[in-house]
Structure 1
């Protein structure tokens, strides 16, 4: 097979994958193939910023096989929220708001990923992190707790560095959730849903500044491994 025929076959395969057809004269075949491959590489790099590697690998291996299907998993969900910044941001320049919020997220993402967490989403100045999906570890509850402790410590240093009265509150819960690719035909994202997720979010609302509140399931799996303090019973919405 000569170079021209090889280039034509590669271009045909790219057309099949992307659903795009491009009529190219023979003298421009190789140039077009290199351009399309470069574009494909940039697209893959962009996708990998939004989806975990395990998910992107699955999509690349079988693009036609991507489905909105779920699987039940045992996951520890972390919700973290920065307090004090929303009201403060109203008096700041937009550029300064962007600088602070991005530096905050850079720090928290680095901590979460070092403990094997997956960033599910950012919500204003809050974030949601998964430990156990899409990749599971035997000690995911402990990993989540250690990440939370380090996040609180990093937030205190961050506040001193910026000379701002900022703090963080965290809620953690371990439970069964449904992990799935969810969305529309035009846009999908990997996430988890279920009561375990809702409880983690509600525990974050219970937590005060510089505090991490964990659910009973998480407590049972980490007791004796980290220092814990028992809190008074609290009622959270949807739980009796």
Structure 2
């Protein structure tokens, strides 16, 4: 079968090799050869399945396929041939064994015919490996895209780092951050009794503008929580803090405008609240068990949520975007102009005082 598939003149090699063939039987899990050992023969599979190993199975050899021929071509001319990988029987298998001395004794046209046959078999293996690599590359790309949709960029980078260095977990670090919380007010009531597909389409229509503006200003979406969004801008130094504050606030103002326009187009009586705050947070994996949950935690995160949840008096206009006094202090004048000049005070359930500046629309 092997010669019919790869050899231009099978009868010549059949005659040259027939007397030297030996059959070797392997049971499940038995090694046919080990990587780096001296190669004294090659094999052709008669029945069963052999797996080429490199930590795990990387290739399989079935009936009519050759194993071990590459060892004779590895290394400098005249050096001892050495195996490249372990080969193990997946289940009970039989192989024809051809000794190295038999190959070495081939002469003239027969020897040339043998190496042409081997070359054709190697080309088939290379084609198979190319297809496998292409498939793996597609799988990796799909996996990367899936991870990027589930984890913020900072989490993707940290996860890639631990995969490369073999660490067990992502160590948390302290960073200054601008924190965003947003919520679609009235969306739950609007969704009541409506078709699930319709609800999902409307929610995406109102969420996409927020995500687009966050990402356009180099922010990172931490998570979606129903009709709410949490995001952050890491700001490890003063210049990036000023840039992050201004970028996040501009993104919030534009997102609020776009969401209100989209809600009007969809005839959805839905509003939006966006709260922005800043402070030092812990960034890392705060999941439990085997589940990774890359996020930011700390008191500033809790406080940012309070700014989003604040409900101004009905007499007050505007306020779709509300920023803390710490954020407002760092805003450039052109962005400050989008906010009411006088701040408002409110208290949480623990009577902690908060100061907020509300957008003028």
TM-score by length of 2: 0.56
With 105-114 and 53-62 compared, the bigger mean Cα shift is at 53-62
Q: Give the alignment partner of residue 24 of structure 1, picking from 52, 60, 63.
A: 60
Q: Unaligned regions of 5+ residues in structure 1, if any?
A: 1-7
Question: Is 1:118–1:134's contact at 8 Å kept on the other side of the alignment?
Answer: no
Match of 1:188 among 258, 275, 292: 292
Match for 1:149 among 253, 256, 278?
Answer: 253
Compute the displacement of 1:207 (Å): 4.0
- Is the contact between residue 173 and residue 218 of structure 1 (CA under 8 Å) also seen in structure 2? yes
Return the structure number with greater relative CO, CA threshold 8 A, min gap 6: 1
Give 1:31 shift.
4.3
Deviation of 1:199 (Å): 0.4
The CA deviation at 1:54 is 4.6
Q: Does 1:219 align with 2:328?
A: yes
Instruction: Structure 2 unaligned segments of length 5 or more: list them.
Output: 1-34, 36-51, 62-66, 68-124, 313-317, 354-361
Whether the 8 Å CA contact 1:168–1:210 is kept in 2: the answer is no
Q: Residue in 1 aligned with 2:305?
A: 201
Counterpart Cα distance in 2 of 1:32 and 1:185: 33
CA contact (8 A) 1:179 1:192 kept: yes
Determine which of 246, 253, 273 is the counterpart of 1:169: 273
Cα contact 2:159–2:170 (8 A) shared by 1: no
Question: Partners in 1 of 2:168 and 2:216 — Cα distance?
Answer: 28
Corresponding residue number in structure 1 for 2:222: 120
TM-superposed CA distance for 1:117, in Å, is 1.0
Counterpart CA distance in 1 for 2:287 and 2:220 is 19
* CA shift for structure 1 position 126: 0.7
* Cα deviation code 1:113-144 (max 9, x no counterpart): 11111001111101011022799934111111
Match of 1:231 among 343, 346, 353: 343
Structure 1 pair 184–30 and aligned structure 2 pair: CA distance change class (3 A):
farther
Alpha-carbon contact 1:54-1:134 (below 8 Å) kept: no
Q: In the aligned structure 1, how far is the partner of 2:58 from the partner of 2:311? A: 57
* Cα distance in structure 2, aligned partners of 1:119 and 1:133: 15
Residue 52 (str. 1) matches residue 152 (str. 2) = yes
Q: Distance in 2 between matches of 1:42 and 1:58?
A: 19
Higher mean C-alpha deviation, range 28-37 or range 211-220:
28-37
Alpha-carbon distance change, 58 to 197 in structure 1, aligned in 2, over 3 angstroms: closer
Deviations 1:173-209 (A, max 9, x none): 1111111122135321321000000001011111457
- Please report how far the alpha carbon of residue 213 of structure 1 lies from its aligned counterpart in structure 2 after TM superposition: 1.7
Cα distance in 1 between the residues matched to 2:169 and 2:206:
34
Aligned: 1:106 with 2:197: no
Q: Does 1:97 align with 2:199?
A: yes
Deviation at 1:163, TM superposition (A): 1.4
Q: What CA deviation, in whole Å up to 9, does each residue of 1:42-94 have, x standing for no partner?
A: 21221122223454345435512362311111111111100111011013111
Cα distance in structure 2, aligned partners of 1:223 and 1:57: 31
Which structure carries more strand by proportion? 2
1:75–1:133 CA contact under 8 A, matched in 2? yes
Pick the structure with greater CA Rg. 2
Higher helix share: 1
> What is the TM-score when the length of structure 1 is the normalising length?
0.82
Kept in 2: contact 1:74–1:176 (CA 8 A): yes
Q: Which residue of 2 aligns with 1:4?
A: none
